[in-house]
Amino acid sequence: MRIQLITAAAVLLLSAAGAIAQSSPAAPAAPVAPSLTGTWRSAPDEMKLTTDFDKSVWGPNATSVRTVELVVRSTADATLRVVKKVVDGKGRTVAASTWIEEAQLQIGDATPGVADRVEHQITVKGAVRLFPDDPNYKWAMDGLKVKLVTFTERDGNSMEVRYDTPEGRGSFWETLTRARGTAAPRSGRVDSAPARKK
């Protein structure tokens, strides 16, 4: 009889815990600061390909071009897209030279950095490398790391992105500027995102 009572009490306790858990919805992710939302782009980063090997592969006067785009949504989700390609001496994209690296990000807490820098915690939820000329190719970039820095004393239209690839090659710092149509706050300052509750 004693064992039956203990069992019944355990069942009641577990049922109550389950009911409480079901009635308490998960807390939504904290929204990103409005000053971050919108589209941010880099100027093209160009590098002349001058080695004999480069010339044999891409032809004379070829240039490697990299562009970066970051789209930040109010939900604190973001998509970072890096496009790399080679253009010939006439500015035409060389066939089979384009590759795209795309990362899905979650923007977290912001903490003060050196001087007017604000460092935003970034979680890389997933990243892939794609080649438009080969739709069947898709390589997961496990281990990609991204850092995001904004500034409190500037006009609110620039940020820095640190991009570290898993293999190390192709890592870079890049400055992004706000795309037209996504104006900075009227104060001209980039506020840090509100701290998330622990």
Q: Where are the domains of the chain?
A: 2-178
Q: Who's near 193: CB < 8 A, 6+ residues apart?
A: 30, 32, 33, 36, 76, 107, 108, 109, 110, 120
pLDDT digits (tens, 9 = 90+) for 121-162: 999 999 999 999 998 889 999 999 999 999 998 888 999 999
| CA–CA separation, 142 and 96 (whole Å) | 24
Can you give the pLDDT at residue 195? Answer: 38
**pTM of structure:** 0.75
123 phi, psi to nearest 5 deg: -110, 125
| CA–CA separation, 92 and 98 (whole Å) | 12
* Beta pairing partners, 110: 120
The 10 Å Cβ neighbour count of residue 178 is 19
The amino acid sitting at 83 is V
Can you give the pLDDT at residue 154? Answer: 85
- List, for the chain, all residue ranges whose pLDDT scores fall below the cut of 70: 1-31, 181-198
Can you give the pLDDT at residue 147? Answer: 96
Can you give the pLDDT at residue 34? Answer: 81
Can you give the pLDDT at residue 132? Answer: 92
Cα–Cα nearest to 174, from 190, 184, 163: 163
How many CA atoms within 13 Å lie on the side-chain side of 43? 4
The topology under which CATH files domain 2-178 is: Porin (2.40.160)
The label of the residue with tokens 């400055």 reads: 175
